[in-house]
Structure 1
Amino acid sequence: MKLTEKKRKDILDAAIEEFREQGFPAARVNRIAELAGVSKRTLYKHFESKELLFQAITDILLEQIAAAPKLSYRPDAPLRDQLVAAVRDYVSHLNGEHYMGLNRLVMSELLRDQDLARAFLSKAAMQDGPIKALISGAMQAGALRQADPGFAAGQLLSMVKHFLVWPLFLMGAKAELDNDTVITDCVDMFLAFYGTER
Protein backbone atom coordinates (compact mmCIF):
# COMPACT_ATOMS: atom_id res chain seq x y z
CA MET A 1 0.00 0.00 0.00
CA LYS A 2 1.40 3.40 -1.00
CA LEU A 3 2.00 5.96 1.72
CA THR A 4 -0.77 8.26 0.41
CA GLU A 5 -3.23 5.33 0.39
CA LYS A 6 -2.20 4.41 3.93
CA LYS A 7 -2.69 8.00 5.12
CA ARG A 8 -6.11 8.12 3.46
CA LYS A 9 -7.09 4.85 5.17
CA ASP A 10 -5.75 6.11 8.53
CA ILE A 11 -7.80 9.30 8.14
CA LEU A 12 -10.97 7.33 7.32
CA ASP A 13 -10.43 4.97 10.27
CA ALA A 14 -9.88 7.95 12.59
CA ALA A 15 -12.96 9.72 11.22
CA ILE A 16 -15.09 6.62 11.80
CA GLU A 17 -13.84 6.47 15.40
CA GLU A 18 -14.45 10.19 15.99
CA PHE A 19 -17.88 10.19 14.34
CA ARG A 20 -18.92 7.14 16.37
CA GLU A 21 -17.80 8.71 19.64
CA GLN A 22 -18.97 12.29 19.05
CA GLY A 23 -21.56 12.11 16.29
CA PHE A 24 -21.03 13.96 13.03
CA PRO A 25 -22.00 17.50 14.16
CA ALA A 26 -19.70 17.44 17.22
CA ALA A 27 -16.80 15.63 15.54
CA ARG A 28 -13.65 17.76 15.30
CA VAL A 29 -11.30 17.74 12.33
CA ASN A 30 -8.35 18.46 14.67
CA ARG A 31 -9.16 15.30 16.64
CA ILE A 32 -9.49 13.22 13.45
CA ALA A 33 -6.08 14.43 12.27
CA GLU A 34 -4.60 13.67 15.69
CA LEU A 35 -6.07 10.15 15.75
CA ALA A 36 -4.80 9.53 12.21
CA GLY A 37 -1.34 10.79 13.04
CA VAL A 38 -1.39 13.38 10.25
CA SER A 39 -1.46 17.14 10.06
CA LYS A 40 -4.68 19.02 9.44
CA ARG A 41 -3.19 20.13 6.13
CA THR A 42 -2.64 16.50 5.08
CA LEU A 43 -6.21 15.65 6.09
CA TYR A 44 -7.59 18.50 3.97
CA LYS A 45 -5.40 17.41 1.07
CA HIS A 46 -7.30 14.10 1.05
CA PHE A 47 -10.71 15.45 2.09
CA GLU A 48 -11.58 19.12 1.57
CA SER A 49 -14.27 19.12 4.26
CA LYS A 50 -15.77 17.11 7.07
CA GLU A 51 -18.82 16.55 4.82
CA LEU A 52 -16.69 15.02 2.06
CA LEU A 53 -15.00 12.82 4.65
CA PHE A 54 -18.40 11.59 5.79
CA GLN A 55 -19.45 10.95 2.17
CA ALA A 56 -16.32 8.82 1.76
CA ILE A 57 -17.46 6.77 4.77
CA THR A 58 -20.93 6.29 3.23
CA ASP A 59 -19.17 5.10 0.07
CA ILE A 60 -17.30 2.50 2.15
CA LEU A 61 -20.64 1.21 3.43
CA LEU A 62 -22.02 1.03 -0.13
CA GLU A 63 -18.84 -0.72 -1.32
CA GLN A 64 -19.28 -3.35 1.40
CA ILE A 65 -22.84 -3.95 0.21
CA ALA A 66 -21.70 -4.16 -3.42
CA ALA A 67 -18.86 -6.53 -2.53
CA ALA A 68 -21.29 -9.30 -1.56
CA PRO A 69 -21.02 -12.03 -4.20
CA LYS A 70 -23.90 -12.11 -6.65
CA LEU A 71 -26.04 -15.23 -6.42
CA SER A 72 -27.46 -17.07 -9.39
CA TYR A 73 -30.52 -19.27 -9.24
CA ARG A 74 -29.57 -22.94 -9.66
CA PRO A 75 -32.45 -24.97 -11.13
CA ASP A 76 -30.75 -28.20 -9.94
CA ALA A 77 -31.15 -27.27 -6.24
CA PRO A 78 -34.30 -26.56 -4.20
CA LEU A 79 -35.13 -22.85 -4.29
CA ARG A 80 -36.08 -22.90 -0.61
CA ASP A 81 -32.59 -24.11 0.36
CA GLN A 82 -30.97 -21.45 -1.85
CA LEU A 83 -33.06 -18.67 -0.30
CA VAL A 84 -32.46 -19.86 3.27
CA ALA A 85 -28.68 -19.99 2.70
CA ALA A 86 -28.66 -16.57 1.01
CA VAL A 87 -30.71 -14.91 3.76
CA ARG A 88 -28.58 -16.57 6.47
CA ASP A 89 -25.40 -15.12 4.87
CA TYR A 90 -27.05 -11.72 4.48
CA VAL A 91 -28.08 -11.54 8.14
CA SER A 92 -24.64 -12.70 9.25
CA HIS A 93 -23.05 -9.93 7.18
CA LEU A 94 -25.41 -7.21 8.44
CA ASN A 95 -24.92 -8.27 12.06
CA GLY A 96 -21.12 -8.35 11.79
CA GLU A 97 -19.52 -5.95 14.28
CA HIS A 98 -17.70 -3.79 11.71
CA TYR A 99 -20.65 -3.47 9.35
CA MET A 100 -23.13 -2.85 12.16
CA GLY A 101 -21.00 -0.09 13.66
CA LEU A 102 -20.49 1.59 10.28
CA ASN A 103 -24.19 1.27 9.50
CA ARG A 104 -25.18 2.87 12.82
CA LEU A 105 -22.78 5.73 12.20
CA VAL A 106 -24.08 6.40 8.69
CA MET A 107 -27.77 5.98 9.53
CA SER A 108 -27.62 8.36 12.48
CA GLU A 109 -26.36 11.11 10.20
CA LEU A 110 -28.80 10.26 7.40
CA LEU A 111 -31.65 10.77 9.87
CA ARG A 112 -30.30 14.25 10.62
CA ASP A 113 -29.57 15.35 7.05
CA GLN A 114 -32.25 14.62 4.44
CA ASP A 115 -30.14 15.80 1.48
CA LEU A 116 -27.40 13.38 2.46
CA ALA A 117 -30.02 10.66 2.95
CA ARG A 118 -31.45 11.22 -0.55
CA ALA A 119 -27.98 11.06 -2.11
CA PHE A 120 -27.12 7.90 -0.19
CA LEU A 121 -30.40 6.14 -1.00
CA SER A 122 -30.06 7.10 -4.66
CA LYS A 123 -26.62 5.46 -4.81
CA ALA A 124 -27.86 2.44 -2.84
CA ALA A 125 -30.82 1.96 -5.21
CA MET A 126 -28.43 1.45 -8.13
CA GLN A 127 -26.91 -1.59 -6.47
CA ASP A 128 -28.15 -5.03 -7.33
CA GLY A 129 -28.12 -7.06 -4.13
CA PRO A 130 -27.32 -10.77 -4.17
CA ILE A 131 -30.78 -11.87 -3.01
CA LYS A 132 -32.48 -9.69 -5.61
CA ALA A 133 -30.32 -11.38 -8.27
CA LEU A 134 -31.27 -14.84 -6.95
CA ILE A 135 -34.98 -13.97 -6.92
CA SER A 136 -34.75 -12.44 -10.40
CA GLY A 137 -33.14 -15.63 -11.74
CA ALA A 138 -35.81 -17.78 -10.10
CA MET A 139 -38.54 -15.62 -11.64
CA GLN A 140 -36.96 -15.87 -15.09
CA ALA A 141 -36.78 -19.66 -14.69
CA GLY A 142 -40.46 -19.84 -13.65
CA ALA A 143 -39.72 -21.03 -10.10
CA LEU A 144 -41.31 -17.83 -8.75
CA ARG A 145 -44.21 -15.90 -10.22
CA GLN A 146 -43.35 -12.76 -12.15
CA ALA A 147 -43.05 -9.55 -10.12
CA ASP A 148 -40.52 -6.79 -9.52
CA PRO A 149 -37.50 -8.72 -8.12
CA GLY A 150 -36.31 -5.75 -6.06
CA PHE A 151 -39.72 -5.31 -4.45
CA ALA A 152 -40.00 -9.05 -3.73
CA ALA A 153 -36.48 -9.16 -2.22
CA GLY A 154 -37.37 -6.12 -0.11
CA GLN A 155 -40.44 -7.89 1.25
CA LEU A 156 -38.46 -10.98 2.24
CA LEU A 157 -35.57 -9.06 3.77
CA SER A 158 -37.84 -6.64 5.63
CA MET A 159 -39.50 -9.56 7.41
CA VAL A 160 -36.16 -11.04 8.39
CA LYS A 161 -34.57 -7.74 9.43
CA HIS A 162 -37.55 -6.92 11.67
CA PHE A 163 -36.66 -9.87 13.89
CA LEU A 164 -32.92 -10.42 13.42
CA VAL A 165 -31.28 -7.10 12.51
CA TRP A 166 -33.22 -4.13 13.91
CA PRO A 167 -33.14 -5.27 17.57
CA LEU A 168 -29.34 -5.49 17.40
CA PHE A 169 -29.06 -2.23 15.43
CA LEU A 170 -31.31 -0.22 17.74
CA MET A 171 -30.75 -1.80 21.15
CA GLY A 172 -27.42 -3.55 20.82
CA ALA A 173 -28.94 -6.91 21.77
CA LYS A 174 -30.06 -9.82 19.66
CA ALA A 175 -33.69 -10.81 19.91
CA GLU A 176 -34.19 -14.03 21.85
CA LEU A 177 -35.17 -15.96 18.75
CA ASP A 178 -33.59 -18.80 16.86
CA ASN A 179 -32.13 -17.29 13.67
CA ASP A 180 -32.68 -20.39 11.56
CA THR A 181 -36.32 -20.69 12.62
CA VAL A 182 -37.02 -17.04 11.80
CA ILE A 183 -35.25 -17.30 8.44
CA THR A 184 -36.99 -20.51 7.36
CA ASP A 185 -40.39 -19.20 8.48
CA CYS A 186 -39.88 -15.98 6.50
CA VAL A 187 -38.69 -17.88 3.42
CA ASP A 188 -41.71 -20.20 3.67
CA MET A 189 -44.07 -17.21 3.87
CA PHE A 190 -42.31 -15.65 0.87
CA LEU A 191 -42.61 -18.87 -1.14
CA ALA A 192 -46.27 -19.28 -0.18
CA PHE A 193 -46.92 -15.97 -1.91
CA TYR A 194 -44.43 -16.00 -4.80
CA GLY A 195 -43.82 -19.72 -5.37
CA THR A 196 -45.22 -21.36 -8.48
CA GLU A 197 -45.34 -24.85 -7.02
CA ARG A 198 -48.61 -25.44 -5.21
Structure 2
Amino acid sequence: MEKLSRSEQKRLDIHKAALAEFKEKSFAGASMDAIAERAAVSKRTVYNHFESKEALFQAVTESFWQLSKDVTNVEYDPAQDIVVQLENIAEAMWQLYAQADFIEKARVLLAEYIRQPQLIEQMIQQVSEKEKGLSRFLAQAHQAGVLQIDDLRMAETQFWGLCKAFAFWPVVFQMNDYSNQRAQIIRNNVQMFVCQYRCRKTT
Protein backbone atom coordinates (compact mmCIF):
# COMPACT_ATOMS: atom_id res chain seq x y z
CA MET A 1 0.00 0.00 0.00
CA GLU A 2 1.33 3.43 -0.95
CA LYS A 3 2.33 5.51 2.04
CA LEU A 4 0.15 8.55 2.68
CA SER A 5 1.67 12.00 2.59
CA ARG A 6 1.65 14.02 5.79
CA SER A 7 -1.25 16.11 4.50
CA GLU A 8 -3.22 13.03 3.43
CA GLN A 9 -2.67 11.41 6.82
CA LYS A 10 -3.89 14.53 8.62
CA ARG A 11 -6.98 14.62 6.43
CA LEU A 12 -7.66 10.96 7.26
CA ASP A 13 -7.16 11.63 10.98
CA ILE A 14 -9.60 14.54 10.81
CA HIS A 15 -12.09 12.38 8.95
CA LYS A 16 -11.90 9.64 11.63
CA ALA A 17 -12.12 12.21 14.43
CA ALA A 18 -15.20 13.76 12.86
CA LEU A 19 -16.90 10.39 12.62
CA ALA A 20 -16.23 9.75 16.31
CA GLU A 21 -17.46 13.24 17.23
CA PHE A 22 -20.65 12.89 15.17
CA LYS A 23 -21.29 9.49 16.75
CA GLU A 24 -20.88 10.75 20.31
CA LYS A 25 -22.45 14.22 20.06
CA SER A 26 -24.46 14.20 16.80
CA PHE A 27 -23.86 16.69 14.01
CA ALA A 28 -25.52 19.52 15.94
CA GLY A 29 -23.45 18.90 19.07
CA ALA A 30 -20.12 18.39 17.33
CA SER A 31 -17.66 21.24 17.00
CA MET A 32 -14.63 21.86 14.85
CA ASP A 33 -12.62 22.57 18.03
CA ALA A 34 -13.46 19.14 19.43
CA ILE A 35 -12.73 17.46 16.12
CA ALA A 36 -9.35 19.17 15.95
CA GLU A 37 -8.56 18.01 19.48
CA ARG A 38 -9.54 14.42 18.67
CA ALA A 39 -7.40 14.47 15.53
CA ALA A 40 -4.47 16.03 17.41
CA VAL A 41 -4.21 18.87 14.92
CA SER A 42 -4.83 22.59 15.08
CA LYS A 43 -8.21 24.07 14.28
CA ARG A 44 -6.57 25.90 11.40
CA THR A 45 -5.43 22.57 9.96
CA VAL A 46 -9.00 21.28 10.10
CA TYR A 47 -10.24 24.32 8.21
CA ASN A 48 -7.45 23.98 5.67
CA HIS A 49 -8.92 20.60 4.73
CA PHE A 50 -12.62 21.28 5.33
CA GLU A 51 -14.14 24.73 5.11
CA SER A 52 -16.97 23.97 7.54
CA LYS A 53 -18.54 21.33 9.73
CA GLU A 54 -21.11 20.81 6.98
CA ALA A 55 -18.34 20.12 4.45
CA LEU A 56 -16.78 17.64 6.84
CA PHE A 57 -20.06 15.81 7.35
CA GLN A 58 -20.52 15.78 3.59
CA ALA A 59 -17.09 14.19 3.21
CA VAL A 60 -18.02 11.44 5.67
CA THR A 61 -21.25 10.82 3.78
CA GLU A 62 -19.53 10.73 0.40
CA SER A 63 -16.90 8.28 1.61
CA PHE A 64 -19.70 5.96 2.73
CA TRP A 65 -21.49 5.99 -0.62
CA GLN A 66 -18.21 5.74 -2.53
CA LEU A 67 -17.54 2.39 -0.89
CA SER A 68 -20.92 1.14 -2.07
CA LYS A 69 -20.26 2.42 -5.56
CA ASP A 70 -16.85 0.75 -5.76
CA VAL A 71 -18.32 -2.65 -4.90
CA THR A 72 -20.68 -2.60 -7.88
CA ASN A 73 -18.43 -0.76 -10.30
CA VAL A 74 -18.15 -3.72 -12.68
CA GLU A 75 -18.93 -4.28 -16.35
CA TYR A 76 -21.27 -6.97 -17.60
CA ASP A 77 -19.29 -9.83 -19.18
CA PRO A 78 -21.25 -11.57 -21.98
CA ALA A 79 -18.87 -14.53 -21.79
CA GLN A 80 -19.81 -15.30 -18.19
CA ASP A 81 -23.06 -16.63 -16.74
CA ILE A 82 -25.22 -13.79 -15.41
CA VAL A 83 -25.93 -15.82 -12.25
CA VAL A 84 -22.22 -16.12 -11.47
CA GLN A 85 -21.68 -12.40 -12.04
CA LEU A 86 -24.57 -11.38 -9.81
CA GLU A 87 -23.42 -13.79 -7.11
CA ASN A 88 -19.96 -12.20 -7.25
CA ILE A 89 -21.50 -8.74 -6.83
CA ALA A 90 -23.65 -9.94 -3.93
CA GLU A 91 -20.63 -11.56 -2.29
CA ALA A 92 -18.61 -8.35 -2.62
CA MET A 93 -21.49 -6.39 -1.09
CA TRP A 94 -21.73 -8.84 1.81
CA GLN A 95 -17.99 -8.48 2.44
CA LEU A 96 -18.41 -4.70 2.51
CA TYR A 97 -21.28 -4.92 4.99
CA ALA A 98 -19.07 -7.09 7.22
CA GLN A 99 -16.51 -4.29 7.60
CA ALA A 100 -16.75 -2.62 11.00
CA ASP A 101 -15.81 0.86 9.74
CA PHE A 102 -18.50 0.75 7.05
CA ILE A 103 -21.19 -0.24 9.55
CA GLU A 104 -19.93 2.41 11.97
CA LYS A 105 -20.42 5.09 9.32
CA ALA A 106 -23.83 3.65 8.47
CA ARG A 107 -24.99 3.94 12.08
CA VAL A 108 -23.73 7.52 12.40
CA LEU A 109 -25.38 8.60 9.16
CA LEU A 110 -28.67 6.83 9.88
CA ALA A 111 -28.84 8.52 13.28
CA GLU A 112 -28.38 11.92 11.63
CA TYR A 113 -31.03 11.17 9.02
CA ILE A 114 -33.45 10.46 11.87
CA ARG A 115 -32.46 13.65 13.71
CA GLN A 116 -32.50 15.73 10.51
CA PRO A 117 -35.12 14.39 8.06
CA GLN A 118 -34.13 17.02 5.50
CA LEU A 119 -30.90 15.11 5.00
CA ILE A 120 -32.87 12.18 3.55
CA GLU A 121 -33.44 14.03 0.28
CA GLN A 122 -29.73 14.78 0.00
CA MET A 123 -28.94 11.13 0.75
CA ILE A 124 -31.32 9.87 -1.95
CA GLN A 125 -29.70 12.20 -4.45
CA GLN A 126 -26.27 10.94 -3.48
CA VAL A 127 -27.38 7.32 -3.84
CA SER A 128 -28.72 7.99 -7.32
CA GLU A 129 -25.44 9.64 -8.25
CA LYS A 130 -23.03 7.28 -6.52
CA GLU A 131 -24.53 3.86 -7.12
CA LYS A 132 -24.10 3.88 -10.89
CA GLY A 133 -22.17 0.61 -10.98
CA LEU A 134 -25.07 -1.80 -10.45
CA SER A 135 -27.42 0.28 -12.58
CA ARG A 136 -24.96 0.23 -15.44
CA PHE A 137 -24.34 -3.50 -15.05
CA LEU A 138 -28.06 -4.29 -15.18
CA ALA A 139 -28.55 -1.98 -18.16
CA GLN A 140 -25.75 -3.76 -20.01
CA ALA A 141 -27.27 -7.17 -19.23
CA HIS A 142 -30.63 -5.90 -20.46
CA GLN A 143 -29.12 -4.57 -23.68
CA ALA A 144 -27.43 -7.92 -24.21
CA GLY A 145 -30.82 -9.63 -24.01
CA VAL A 146 -29.90 -11.65 -20.92
CA LEU A 147 -32.23 -9.80 -18.54
CA GLN A 148 -35.60 -8.24 -19.39
CA ILE A 149 -35.88 -5.13 -17.25
CA ASP A 150 -38.63 -2.58 -17.84
CA ASP A 151 -37.88 -0.49 -14.76
CA LEU A 152 -34.14 -0.36 -14.18
CA ARG A 153 -34.35 1.65 -10.97
CA MET A 154 -36.82 -0.77 -9.43
CA ALA A 155 -34.71 -3.80 -10.36
CA GLU A 156 -31.63 -2.15 -8.88
CA THR A 157 -33.48 -1.35 -5.66
CA GLN A 158 -34.79 -4.92 -5.44
CA PHE A 159 -31.31 -6.39 -5.78
CA TRP A 160 -29.91 -4.08 -3.10
CA GLY A 161 -32.87 -4.91 -0.89
CA LEU A 162 -32.34 -8.66 -1.19
CA CYS A 163 -28.71 -8.26 -0.18
CA LYS A 164 -29.27 -5.79 2.64
CA ALA A 165 -32.10 -7.77 4.24
CA PHE A 166 -29.65 -10.40 5.48
CA ALA A 167 -26.20 -8.79 5.28
CA PHE A 168 -26.68 -5.11 6.21
CA TRP A 169 -29.70 -4.33 8.38
CA PRO A 170 -29.20 -7.21 10.84
CA VAL A 171 -25.61 -6.03 11.38
CA VAL A 172 -26.54 -2.36 11.72
CA PHE A 173 -29.15 -3.16 14.36
CA GLN A 174 -27.18 -6.03 15.91
CA MET A 175 -29.89 -8.57 15.27
CA ASN A 176 -29.59 -12.01 13.67
CA ASP A 177 -26.26 -13.19 12.27
CA TYR A 178 -26.70 -14.85 8.90
CA SER A 179 -23.00 -15.21 8.09
CA ASN A 180 -23.11 -19.00 8.40
CA GLN A 181 -25.85 -19.10 5.75
CA ARG A 182 -24.11 -16.58 3.52
CA ALA A 183 -23.51 -18.76 0.46
CA GLN A 184 -27.04 -20.19 0.47
CA ILE A 185 -28.66 -16.78 0.95
CA ILE A 186 -26.68 -15.24 -1.90
CA ARG A 187 -27.49 -18.16 -4.17
CA ASN A 188 -31.21 -18.00 -3.35
CA ASN A 189 -31.40 -14.22 -3.70
CA VAL A 190 -29.72 -14.25 -7.10
CA GLN A 191 -31.95 -17.09 -8.30
CA MET A 192 -35.04 -15.13 -7.26
CA PHE A 193 -33.80 -12.01 -9.02
CA VAL A 194 -32.78 -13.76 -12.23
CA CYS A 195 -36.01 -15.75 -12.35
CA GLN A 196 -37.98 -12.51 -12.17
CA TYR A 197 -36.06 -10.77 -14.90
CA ARG A 198 -34.99 -13.63 -17.15
CA CYS A 199 -37.64 -16.33 -16.73
CA ARG A 200 -40.86 -14.36 -16.36
CA LYS A 201 -43.58 -14.80 -18.95
CA THR A 202 -44.84 -11.88 -21.00
CA THR A 203 -48.59 -11.33 -20.70
Q: Could you tell me how far apart the structure 1 residues matched to 2:131 and 2:42 are?
A: 39
Per-residue CA distance 1:72-101 (angstroms, 9 max, x = gap):
222222211111111111121122112111
1:166 deviates by 0.6
Instruction: Give deviations 1:79-135, integer Å, cap 9, x for gaps.
Output: 111111111111211221121111211221122212322122212212344333322
Q: Within 1, Cα distance between the matches of 2:185 and 2:20? A: 33
Confirm or deny: 8 A CA contact 2:72 2:131 kept in the other structure. no
Equivalent residue number for residue 148 of structure 1: 151
Structure 1 counterpart of 2:162? 159
RMSD across aligned positions (CA) = 2.4
Corresponding residue SS for 2:71? coil
Q: 1:40 to 1:150 in 2, by over 3 A?
A: same
CA distance in structure 1 between the aligned counterparts of 2:6 and 2:112, rounded to whole angstroms: 30
Are 1:57 and 2:60 an aligned pair? yes
- How far residue 155 of structure 1 moved from its aligned partner, in angstroms, is 0.7
Task: Kindly report which structure 2 residues correspond to 1:1-198, keeping only aligned pairs within 5 A, or say none.
Answer: 1-68=4-71, 70-171=73-174, 174-175=177-178, 178-196=181-199
Q: 1:45 and 1:72, CA in 2 relative to 1: closer, same or farther beyond 3 A?
A: closer
Give the residue type in structure 1 aligned to 2:63. Answer: I
- How many Å separate the matches in 2 of 1:106 and 1:163? 20
Amino acid at match of 2:49: H
Identical positions, percent: 29
TM-score where L is the length of structure 2: 0.84
Cα distance between partner residues in 2 of 1:190 and 1:68 = 19
Pairwise CA distance, 1:173: 5.4
Any conservation in 2 of the 1:143–1:197 contact (CA below 8 Å)?
no
For 2:155 and 2:74, the matched residues in 1 are separated by 15
Q: C-alpha distance in 1, partners of 2:51/2:129?
A: 26
What is the CA–CA distance in structure 2 between the aligned matches of 1:176 and 1:71, rounded to whole Å? 24
Taking the aligned partners of 2:179 and 2:15, their CA distance within structure 1 comes to 35
User: Structure 1 length as normaliser, TM-score?
Assistant: 0.86
